[in-house]
């Protein structure tokens, strides 16, 4: 952080350079123009915008007080949400590790594997969980399986990319030493690579589990299981006090998730 | 640990276990197994429907290839709206995140304000944008306005948190210097705090523009405008070739946007 | 017996690093290879166990031609060639014992390797060797908790676990302080005689080379320009090897400075 601040301070001194100044003005001008275009062109009925604060506070008022009568169902749905996130994260590991192995430049068997690995990672990462869920609901019908698959397909890219980077950053020297003992490729991986990426692995999986808990709260909105199903139902029936309870429950879940990941990080790492 | 002294006793060695306490070690294994049984047992899988999955997948992918770009007009309109949502939400979000970040920074905000600022940030970070979108759609109706509001909240949560952490780490000497010359609270903020965090803010906005663009593709699924709505419609009408065309375009746009955002941030930092 | 003949190594299209090098090492002698940085010492050593692919030439260990070996054959031969590294090349997050047993990786199967269920004979040999170099009490310590000299002892024991027919040491003391590096040289010297093992040591420190080895080979620009007993290694040979190279003085004499650099590099 200190270094960073130092670098920034340096930059400030150089900003009176003519070319940089022009670039700055050009960037500002382009930003203003783009924003102007966006505001003029966007398909918004402006009187609604001025009415929006009213509408929002209206909705807020309808939610108050939260109605706890369906708490049992909500708790069950929350558990389902956690299960989806946990199982999906656990299953993802089995796919993400081989993919990261072939997608890391220093371990990939050949160029074809490297590109295959990168293709898998990029396509997994560029499609949002909820879009994956849409696809899997269309294939397997509404339910938790679609949810688990959606979370898995998105997580493979995340875990795979970060693990690939961790593999690329390992110290080469133990690998060299293991090769010199006459160890086969598999043994070199087990001794020189696995121990080095272990801490990164735990950190990445824990991080992704935390993210997956958040993501699995919305799966139900497209029918892929979890708390979202109840939320959608409550919204559709205008049961706003129940909606409020569900929202509070989600916050509690996310905070618990954060506390658990914080605890795990301290215990494991 | 220590090997026995007399050498004639055959010495053995086993790898010290990762968790030293055997009760805890086997307890953890047991817990994992019990959890897996519980989770799989309690999740409602509709096997009948799932077993239809493969033929359905064949039908979907068969119908989806080749992707059809025939209705490119609809595609372009959708993307234009997504861009507009992302741009306006980034602008609003980044601007609004500054006051919230100041509120949520322990070192510059009074305690009650700090708690309020933290609460706003925690709440806006806890909810997945899709959930926020559904609420805004309910409050202000279908369309890009709900999308902009959603992503503004999302941006406040993300940028506000990072910025608050940044403010907490600023060089306190400059603040004291400003106080020493008798500057008021806001003058101190403007002259001693903002200059230290603004360079980072520019980089963060680029990052946020990129992630807002990603998110704007999904908030449309619940009716908050943009390409997500178009995708949802295509899926709903079993228009799989158009849906796959949209998906491919989304992937392409996200890759390009990620590239640009990365390039700009590298230039700035 | 190790016979190197007409060994050439060139990286890409650059000038060759090794130019038709010939070297024969017989019996159990300790040979030191001296030369300035970039003279090709490290490349030569790594050509022997094929961590570096030679461009042409022949390397024979006890009659087996090493240059053409591939896959399983190559791994079987590598087992017979122990190597000690400048940066120790230990696996920091594993215990000392695991690092030592890693020397048996070429002999055990994958299941044994992963579960660390090594044969009893290997474990006993490991304890014997660790006791011999004085690190047995560290068996269950993590490798990165040890000091530099102790780490290098682990490196030596790991190489000896291979039951090697020859031991290669690539600057084994360059990352250590002067006193520790003396100890390591002494250790290599006496182990060579106890186990009647030929040892090739790349070394910068000419004084140590003279004190602890029986034969000195001088390399310059990929060619051998000195080969003889330490007694015959005088001022002329030194000039021939290092002469005209600016940093020569420093490299020969200022060993402590170098060693701190090496340790700092290692700890990153």
The residue in chain B having the minimum alpha-carbon distance to the alpha carbon of residue C125 is B11
Residue A201 lies in a domain: yes
What whole-number percentage of chain C has pLDDT above 70?
A: 91
Residue A24 lies in a domain: yes
Residue A169 lies in a domain: yes
**Of A75, A103, A81, nearest in space to A165 by CA:** A103
Structural domain B73-268, CATH architecture? Orthogonal Bundle (1.10)
How many angstroms separate the Cα of C234 from the Cα of each of A227, B215, C254? 84, 75, 19
For residue C106, list chain A residues with Cβ-Cβ distance below 8 A.
Answer: 181-183
A54-73 in b/e burial notation, b at 16+ Cβ within 10 A?
eebeebeeebeebbeebeee
Residue pLDDT, tens place only, C49-86:
899 988 888 999 888 888 888 888 899 999 999 999 99
DSSP B19: S
pLDDT of C253 over the 60 cut: no
User: Residue B110: exposed, middle, or buried by beta-carbon count in 10 A (0-12, 13-18, 19+)?
Assistant: exposed
Query: What is the domain partition of chain B in residue ranges?
Result: 73-268
- A99 and A31, same structural domain? no
User: Residue A13: exposed, middle, or buried by beta-carbon count in 10 A (0-12, 13-18, 19+)?
Assistant: exposed
Q: Determine the distance in angstroms separating the CA of C93 from the nearest CA of chain A, rounded to an integer.
A: 6
- A87 and A33, same structural domain? no
Query: CA-CA distance, C65 to C237, in Å (whole number)?
Result: 32
What whole-number percentage of chain B has pLDDT above 90?
A: 18
Query: CA-CA distance, A264 to A207, in Å (whole number)?
Result: 10
The residue in chain C having the minimum alpha-carbon distance to the alpha carbon of residue A183 is C106
Q: Helix, strand, or coil here: C83? A: strand
Mean pLDDT of B33-48: 87
Largest CA distance in chain A: 76
Domain annotation for chain C: domains and CATH numbers: 39-267 (3.40.50.300)
Q: Is A134 on the interface with B (CB under 8 A)?
A: yes
Query: CA-CA distance, A155 to A92, in Å (whole number)?
Result: 7
Residue pLDDT, tens place only, A82-109:
999 999 999 999 999 999 999 999 888 8
Please, how many CA atoms are within 13 Å of residue C204, restricted to the half-sphere of its CB? 26
pLDDT of C259 over the 60 cut: no
Q: For residue B69, is the peptide bond before it cis, meaning its omega torsion is within 30 degrees of 0?
A: no
Q: Helix, strand, or coil here: C24? A: strand
Query: CA-CA distance, B28 to B48, in Å (whole number)?
Result: 34
- A27 and A121, same structural domain? no
- What Rg do the C-alpha atoms of chain A give, in angstroms? 25
How many angstroms separate the Cα of B107 from the Cα of each of B25, B114, B169, B221? 43, 9, 9, 40
Mean pLDDT of C160-184: 90
User: Residue B128: exposed, middle, or buried by beta-carbon count in 10 A (0-12, 13-18, 19+)?
Assistant: buried
Output the pLDDT for position C258: 38
**Of C9, C86, C110, nearest in space to C52 by CA:** C9
Cα distance between the two ends of chain A:
22
- A109 and A17, same structural domain? no
Cβ distance of B3 and C136 shorter than 8 Å:
yes
- A164 and A34, same structural domain? no
pLDDT of chain A, 269 residues: tens digit per residue: 444 544 454 555 555 567 777 888 888 898 899 888 888 888 777 888 888 888 889 888 988 888 888 889 999 999 999 999 999 999 999 999 999 999 999 888 899 999 999 999 988 988 889 999 988 998 888 889 999 999 999 999 999 999 999 999 999 999 999 999 999 999 999 999 999 999 999 999 999 999 999 999 999 988 898 899 999 999 999 999 999 999 999 999 999 999 999 999 888 77
Query: CA-CA distance, C78 to A126, in Å (whole number)?
Result: 45
What whole-number percentage of chain C has pLDDT above 90?
A: 32
Output the pLDDT for position A51: 85
Q: What is the pTM of this model?
A: 0.84
- A80 and A40, same structural domain? no
Query: If pLDDT is split at 50, 70 and 90, which confidence band does B107 have?
Result: confident
Residues in chain C: 268
Query: CA-CA distance, A219 to A226, in Å (whole number)?
Result: 7
Output the pLDDT for position A203: 93
Determine which of B7, B10, B13, B16 to mutate to test the interface with C (most C C-beta atoms within 10 Å). Answer: B13
The shortest CB-CB distance from C140 to any of B1, B11, B12 is to B1
Q: Helix, strand, or coil here: C29? A: coil
Residue A139 belongs to domain spanning: 69-268
CB of C118 closer than 8 Å to CB of C104? yes
Number of domains making up chain A: 2
Residue A218 lies in a domain: yes
Q: For residue B66, is the peptide bond before it cis, meaning its omega torsion is within 30 degrees of 0?
A: yes
Looking at this predicted complex, what is its ipTM? 0.83
Query: CA-CA distance, C238 to C221, in Å (whole number)?
Result: 14
Residue A126 lies in a domain: yes
Residue pLDDT, tens place only, B114-155:
999 999 898 888 889 999 999 999 888 888 999 999 999 999
Interface of B with C (CB under 8 A): 1-3, 10-16
Residue pLDDT, tens place only, C126-150:
999 999 888 888 888 899 999 888 9
Residue pLDDT, tens place only, C209-228:
888 888 999 888 888 888 88
- A29 and A119, same structural domain? no
Output the pLDDT for position C39: 82
Determine which of B3, B8, B10, B15 to mutate to test the interface with C (most C C-beta atoms within 10 Å). Answer: B15
- A82 and A16, same structural domain? no
For residue B122, list chain A residues with Cβ-Cβ distance below 8 A.
Answer: 251, 255
pLDDT of C250 over the 60 cut: no
Cβ distance of B11 and C95 shorter than 8 Å:
no
- A26 and A80, same structural domain? no
Query: CA-CA distance, A135 to A120, in Å (whole number)?
Result: 17
CB of B97 closer than 8 Å to CB of B156? yes
In sequence order, the 6+-apart residues with CB closer than 8 A to the CB of A262 are none
Query: CA-CA distance, B9 to A8, in Å (whole number)?
Result: 65
Q: Which helix (H) or strand (E) holds A186?
A: helix A185-188
């Amino acid at each position: 952080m200190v270094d960073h601040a130092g670098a920034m301070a340096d930059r400030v001194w150089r900003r009176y350079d003519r070319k940089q100044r022009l670039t700055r003005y050009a960037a500002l001008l382009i930003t203003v123009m783009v924003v102007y275009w966006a505001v003029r062109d966007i398909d918004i009925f402006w009187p609604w915008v001025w009415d929006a604060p009213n509408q929002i506070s209206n909705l807020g008022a309808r939610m108050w007080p939260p109605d706890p009568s369906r708490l049992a169902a909500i708790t069950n749905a929350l558990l389902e949400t956690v299960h989806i996130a946990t199982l999906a994260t656990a299953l993802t590991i089995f796919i993400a590790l081989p993919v990261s192995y072939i997608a890391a430049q220093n371990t990939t068997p050949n160029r074809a594997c490297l590109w295959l690995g990168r293709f898998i990672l990029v396509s997994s990462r560029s499609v949002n969980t909820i879009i994956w869920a849409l696809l899997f609901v269309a294939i397997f019908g509404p339910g938790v399986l679609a949810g688990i698959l959606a979370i898995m397909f998105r997580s493979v890219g995340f875990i795979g990319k970060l693990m690939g980077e961790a593999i690329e950053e390992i110290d080469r020297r133990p690998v060299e030493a293991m090769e010199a003992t006459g160890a086969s490729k598999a043994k070199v991986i087990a001794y020189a690579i696995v121990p080095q990426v272990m801490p990164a692995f735990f950190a990445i999986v824990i991080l992704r589990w935390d993210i997956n808990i958040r993501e699995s709260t919305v799966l139900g909105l497209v029918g892929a299981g979890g708390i979202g199903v109840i939320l959608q139902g409550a919204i559709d029936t205008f049961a706003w006090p129940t909606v409020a309870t569900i929202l509070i429950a989600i916050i509690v879940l996310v905070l618990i998730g954060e506390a658990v990941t914080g605890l795990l990080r301290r215990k494991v790492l | 640990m220590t090997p026995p002294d007399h050498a004639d006793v055959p010495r053995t060695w086993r790898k010290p276990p990762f968790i030293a306490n055997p009760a805890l070690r086997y307890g953890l294994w047991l817990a994992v197994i019990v959890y897996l049984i519980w989770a799989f047992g309690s999740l409602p899988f509709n096997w009948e429907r799932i077993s239809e999955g493969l033929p359905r997948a064949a039908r979907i992918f068969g119908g989806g290839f080749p992707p059809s770009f025939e209705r490119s007009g609809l595609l372009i309109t959708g993307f234009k709206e997504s861009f507009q949502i992302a741009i306006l939400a980034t602008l609003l979000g980044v601007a609004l995140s500054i006051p919230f970040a100041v509120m949520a920074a322990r070192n510059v905000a009074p305690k009650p304000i700090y708690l309020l600022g933290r609460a706003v940030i925690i709440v806006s970070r806890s909810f997945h944008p899709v959930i926020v979108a559904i609420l805004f759609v309910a409050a202000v109706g279908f369309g890009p306005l709900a999308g902009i509001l959603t992503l503004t909240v999302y941006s406040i949560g993300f940028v506000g948190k990072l910025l608050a952490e940044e403010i907490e780490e600023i060089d306190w000497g400059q603040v004291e210097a400003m106080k020493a010359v008798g500057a008021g609270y806001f003058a101190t903020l403007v002259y001693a705090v903002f200059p230290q965090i603004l360079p980072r803010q520019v980089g963060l906005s680029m990052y946020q523009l990129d992630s807002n663009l990603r998110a704007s593709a999904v908030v449309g699924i619940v009716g908050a405008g943009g390409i997500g709505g178009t995708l949802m419609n295509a899926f709903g009408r079993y228009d799989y070739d158009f849906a796959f065309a949209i998906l491919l375009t989304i992937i392409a746009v996200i890759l390009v946007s990620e590239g640009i955002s990365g390039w700009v941030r590298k230039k700035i930092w | 017996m190790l016979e190197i003949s007409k060994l050439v190594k060139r990286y890409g299209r650059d000038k060759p690093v090794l130019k038709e090098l010939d070297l024969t090492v017989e019996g159990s002698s300790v040979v030191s290879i001296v030369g300035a940085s970039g003279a090709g010492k490290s490349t030569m050593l790594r050509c022997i166990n094929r961590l570096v692919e030679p461009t042409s030439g022949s390397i024979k260990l006890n009659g087996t031609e090493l240059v053409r070996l591939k896959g399983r054959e190559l791994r079987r031969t590598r087992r017979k060639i122990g190597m000690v590294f400048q940066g120790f090349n230990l696996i920091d997050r594993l215990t000392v014992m695991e690092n030592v047993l890693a020397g048996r990786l070429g002999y055990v199967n994958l299941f044994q390797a992963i579960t660390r269920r090594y044969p009893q004979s290997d474990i006993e040999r490991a304890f014997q060797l660790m006791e011999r170099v004085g690190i047995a009490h560290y068996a269950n310590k993590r490798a990165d908790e040890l000091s530099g000299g102790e780490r290098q002892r682990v490196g030596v024991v790991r190489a000896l676990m291979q039951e090697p027919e020859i031991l290669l040491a690539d600057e084994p003391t360059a990352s250590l302080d002067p006193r520790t590096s003396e100890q390591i040289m002494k250790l290599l010297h006496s182990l060579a005689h106890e186990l009647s093992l030929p040892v090739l040591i790349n070394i910068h420190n000419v004084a140590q080379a003279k004190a602890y080895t029986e034969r000195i080979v001088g390399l310059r620009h990929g060619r051998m320009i000195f080969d003889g007993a330490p007694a015959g290694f005088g001022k002329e040979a030194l000039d021939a090897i290092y002469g005209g190279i600016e940093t020569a003085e420093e490299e020969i004499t200022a060993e402590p400075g170098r060693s701190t650099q090496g340790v700092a590099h290692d700890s990153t």
